[in-house]
Amino acid sequence: MAIATLPDVSEIPTCPRHPDVETRLSCSACGELICPSCGREAAVGYKCPDCARQDGATTQPRAGTSSSPLRKWVESWSNDDGERSPKPPPAGSADGQLPLALGARATMVAAGAAVLAGLLIGPVLAQGAFFLISAGVLGWVVARSVYWATEERNSPYVRALAMTAAGVMVLIGQVSASSGPDTVRELALLAYPAALYGGWIVVRQR
Protein backbone atom coordinates (compact mmCIF):
# COMPACT_ATOMS: atom_id res chain seq x y z
CA MET A 1 0.00 0.00 0.00
CA ALA A 2 1.49 3.27 -1.14
CA ILE A 3 1.81 6.00 1.43
CA ALA A 4 1.23 9.55 0.22
CA THR A 5 4.04 11.90 1.05
CA LEU A 6 3.29 15.41 2.23
CA PRO A 7 5.25 18.33 0.83
CA ASP A 8 8.05 19.60 2.98
CA VAL A 9 6.47 22.62 4.60
CA SER A 10 9.82 23.61 6.05
CA GLU A 11 10.96 24.79 2.63
CA ILE A 12 9.82 28.40 2.12
CA PRO A 13 9.98 29.68 -1.48
CA THR A 14 12.04 32.73 -2.33
CA CYS A 15 11.25 35.79 -4.37
CA PRO A 16 12.35 35.47 -8.04
CA ARG A 17 13.60 39.06 -8.03
CA HIS A 18 15.28 38.76 -4.63
CA PRO A 19 16.49 35.16 -4.25
CA ASP A 20 17.75 35.78 -0.74
CA VAL A 21 14.29 36.81 0.53
CA GLU A 22 11.83 34.09 1.57
CA THR A 23 8.21 34.88 0.88
CA ARG A 24 4.76 33.35 0.63
CA LEU A 25 3.24 36.47 -0.94
CA SER A 26 2.11 36.21 -4.54
CA CYS A 27 0.79 38.61 -7.15
CA SER A 28 -3.00 38.85 -7.11
CA ALA A 29 -3.03 39.07 -10.93
CA CYS A 30 -0.53 36.53 -12.28
CA GLY A 31 0.33 34.53 -9.15
CA GLU A 32 4.06 35.19 -9.33
CA LEU A 33 5.87 35.20 -6.03
CA ILE A 34 6.76 38.67 -4.74
CA CYS A 35 8.32 40.05 -1.59
CA PRO A 36 7.68 43.29 0.32
CA SER A 37 10.50 44.96 -1.60
CA CYS A 38 9.04 44.44 -5.07
CA GLY A 39 5.32 44.10 -4.27
CA ARG A 40 3.04 46.99 -5.25
CA GLU A 41 -0.11 47.75 -3.31
CA ALA A 42 -3.22 47.26 -5.45
CA ALA A 43 -6.96 47.64 -4.97
CA VAL A 44 -7.01 44.00 -3.88
CA GLY A 45 -3.84 42.57 -2.36
CA TYR A 46 -0.46 43.18 -3.97
CA LYS A 47 0.83 42.91 -7.52
CA CYS A 48 4.21 42.35 -9.08
CA PRO A 49 5.88 45.34 -10.75
CA ASP A 50 5.00 44.10 -14.27
CA CYS A 51 1.28 43.78 -13.54
CA ALA A 52 1.26 47.04 -11.63
CA ARG A 53 2.75 48.87 -14.61
CA GLN A 54 0.28 47.31 -17.04
CA ASP A 55 -2.89 48.37 -15.29
CA GLY A 56 -1.61 51.26 -13.20
CA ALA A 57 -2.70 49.50 -10.06
CA THR A 58 0.01 50.94 -7.84
CA THR A 59 -1.39 52.73 -4.81
CA GLN A 60 -4.88 53.03 -6.28
CA PRO A 61 -7.85 53.50 -3.90
CA ARG A 62 -10.20 50.59 -3.29
CA ALA A 63 -13.31 50.36 -5.39
CA GLY A 64 -16.20 52.32 -4.02
CA THR A 65 -14.06 54.69 -1.97
CA SER A 66 -13.36 58.29 -2.86
CA SER A 67 -9.88 59.71 -3.16
CA SER A 68 -8.64 62.18 -0.61
CA PRO A 69 -8.82 65.90 -1.48
CA LEU A 70 -5.03 65.99 -1.76
CA ARG A 71 -5.02 63.11 -4.28
CA LYS A 72 -7.77 64.75 -6.33
CA TRP A 73 -5.79 68.00 -6.38
CA VAL A 74 -2.60 66.23 -7.52
CA GLU A 75 -4.43 64.28 -10.22
CA SER A 76 -6.13 67.42 -11.50
CA TRP A 77 -2.71 68.95 -12.25
CA SER A 78 -1.26 65.82 -13.88
CA ASN A 79 -1.71 64.61 -17.44
CA ASP A 80 -1.76 61.03 -18.67
CA ASP A 81 2.03 60.77 -18.59
CA GLY A 82 2.20 61.80 -14.94
CA GLU A 83 3.77 65.12 -15.85
CA ARG A 84 2.59 68.26 -14.22
CA SER A 85 0.35 70.40 -16.38
CA PRO A 86 0.59 74.17 -16.42
CA LYS A 87 -1.39 75.97 -13.76
CA PRO A 88 -4.40 77.94 -14.91
CA PRO A 89 -3.64 81.64 -15.08
CA PRO A 90 -4.71 83.61 -12.00
CA ALA A 91 -6.69 86.78 -12.26
CA GLY A 92 -4.60 89.45 -13.92
CA SER A 93 -2.13 86.97 -15.43
CA ALA A 94 -0.73 86.89 -18.94
CA ASP A 95 -4.01 85.40 -20.20
CA GLY A 96 -6.20 87.77 -18.20
CA GLN A 97 -6.47 91.44 -17.49
CA LEU A 98 -4.61 93.44 -14.88
CA PRO A 99 -6.96 95.46 -12.66
CA LEU A 100 -6.69 99.18 -13.36
CA ALA A 101 -5.88 100.03 -9.74
CA LEU A 102 -2.99 97.57 -9.64
CA GLY A 103 -1.72 98.81 -13.00
CA ALA A 104 -1.69 102.41 -11.79
CA ARG A 105 0.04 101.46 -8.56
CA ALA A 106 2.63 99.41 -10.41
CA THR A 107 3.38 102.36 -12.70
CA MET A 108 3.92 104.73 -9.79
CA VAL A 109 6.05 102.23 -7.89
CA ALA A 110 8.13 101.51 -11.01
CA ALA A 111 8.77 105.23 -11.55
CA GLY A 112 9.73 105.80 -7.93
CA ALA A 113 11.96 102.73 -7.78
CA ALA A 114 13.71 103.69 -11.03
CA VAL A 115 14.43 107.23 -9.78
CA LEU A 116 15.66 106.08 -6.37
CA ALA A 117 17.82 103.28 -7.79
CA GLY A 118 19.16 105.65 -10.47
CA LEU A 119 20.29 108.13 -7.84
CA LEU A 120 21.94 105.30 -5.89
CA ILE A 121 23.83 103.95 -8.89
CA GLY A 122 24.89 107.38 -10.15
CA PRO A 123 28.01 107.66 -7.95
CA VAL A 124 28.96 104.08 -8.86
CA LEU A 125 28.75 104.87 -12.58
CA ALA A 126 30.81 108.04 -12.10
CA GLN A 127 33.64 106.07 -10.54
CA GLY A 128 33.38 103.16 -12.97
CA ALA A 129 33.91 100.52 -10.28
CA PHE A 130 31.63 97.57 -9.62
CA PHE A 131 28.95 99.16 -11.79
CA LEU A 132 28.03 95.87 -13.47
CA ILE A 133 27.22 94.13 -10.20
CA SER A 134 25.44 97.20 -8.85
CA ALA A 135 23.37 97.61 -12.01
CA GLY A 136 22.34 93.95 -11.99
CA VAL A 137 21.33 93.98 -8.34
CA LEU A 138 19.41 97.26 -8.58
CA GLY A 139 17.74 96.10 -11.82
CA TRP A 140 16.50 93.04 -9.95
CA VAL A 141 15.23 95.22 -7.07
CA VAL A 142 13.38 97.59 -9.42
CA ALA A 143 11.70 94.75 -11.33
CA ARG A 144 10.83 92.98 -8.09
CA SER A 145 9.16 96.12 -6.75
CA VAL A 146 6.86 96.17 -9.78
CA TYR A 147 5.63 92.64 -9.06
CA TRP A 148 5.26 93.52 -5.40
CA ALA A 149 3.04 96.47 -6.37
CA THR A 150 0.81 94.18 -8.47
CA GLU A 151 0.49 91.58 -5.70
CA GLU A 152 2.55 89.09 -7.74
CA ARG A 153 0.25 89.36 -10.75
CA ASN A 154 1.70 88.78 -14.20
CA SER A 155 0.78 90.22 -17.58
CA PRO A 156 2.54 91.59 -20.67
CA TYR A 157 2.21 95.09 -19.23
CA VAL A 158 3.79 94.10 -15.93
CA ARG A 159 6.69 92.38 -17.68
CA ALA A 160 7.30 95.34 -19.98
CA LEU A 161 7.01 97.78 -17.08
CA ALA A 162 9.53 95.85 -14.99
CA MET A 163 12.10 95.72 -17.80
CA THR A 164 11.54 99.36 -18.78
CA ALA A 165 11.97 100.57 -15.20
CA ALA A 166 15.26 98.67 -14.93
CA GLY A 167 16.54 100.43 -18.07
CA VAL A 168 15.29 103.87 -16.99
CA MET A 169 17.14 103.38 -13.73
CA VAL A 170 20.47 103.26 -15.60
CA LEU A 171 19.53 106.33 -17.67
CA ILE A 172 18.87 108.34 -14.52
CA GLY A 173 22.12 107.09 -13.04
CA GLN A 174 24.08 108.18 -16.11
CA VAL A 175 22.52 111.64 -16.02
CA SER A 176 23.49 112.03 -12.38
CA ALA A 177 27.00 110.79 -13.21
CA SER A 178 27.48 113.09 -16.23
CA SER A 179 30.30 114.93 -14.50
CA GLY A 180 32.60 111.93 -14.63
CA PRO A 181 35.36 111.29 -17.21
CA ASP A 182 34.29 110.50 -20.77
CA THR A 183 35.90 107.08 -20.70
CA VAL A 184 33.97 106.18 -17.54
CA ARG A 185 30.66 107.36 -19.01
CA GLU A 186 31.25 105.29 -22.15
CA LEU A 187 32.11 102.23 -20.08
CA ALA A 188 28.98 102.75 -17.98
CA LEU A 189 26.87 101.96 -21.06
CA LEU A 190 27.45 98.32 -20.14
CA ALA A 191 25.27 98.92 -17.11
CA TYR A 192 22.20 98.73 -19.37
CA PRO A 193 22.49 94.99 -20.20
CA ALA A 194 23.47 94.28 -16.60
CA ALA A 195 20.34 96.03 -15.26
CA LEU A 196 18.10 94.41 -17.87
CA TYR A 197 19.52 91.00 -16.97
CA GLY A 198 18.68 91.62 -13.33
CA GLY A 199 15.13 92.51 -14.30
CA TRP A 200 14.88 89.53 -16.64
CA ILE A 201 15.71 87.17 -13.79
CA VAL A 202 12.58 88.40 -12.00
CA VAL A 203 10.41 88.23 -15.14
CA ARG A 204 11.43 84.73 -16.18
CA GLN A 205 10.43 83.34 -12.78
CA ARG A 206 6.80 84.21 -13.50
Q: How do the domains of the chain map onto residue ranges? A: 13-78, 100-204
Would you tell me how many other CB atoms lie within 10 Å of the CB of residue 152? 11
Q: What percent of the chain has pLDDT over 90?
A: 12
Would you tell me how many other CB atoms lie within 10 Å of the CB of residue 62? 8
Range of 14-28, 111-125, 137-151, 168-182 with top mean pLDDT: 137-151
* CB 148, CB 109: distance < 8 Å: yes
Grade residue 144 by pLDDT with cuts at 50, 70 and 90: very high
Q: What is the number of alpha carbons within 13 Å of residue 111 lying toward its C-beta?
A: 5
Predicted structure pTM score = 0.49
* CB 152, CB 129: distance < 8 Å: no
**Measured between alpha carbons, how far is 55 from 51 in angstroms, rounded to an integer?**
6
Query: Does residue 40 carry a pLDDT above 60?
Result: yes
**Measured between alpha carbons, how far is 153 from 132 in angstroms, rounded to an integer?**
29
* Lowest-pLDDT choice from 21-25, 93-97, 188-192: 93-97
Grade residue 145 by pLDDT with cuts at 50, 70 and 90: very high
Grade residue 95 by pLDDT with cuts at 50, 70 and 90: very low
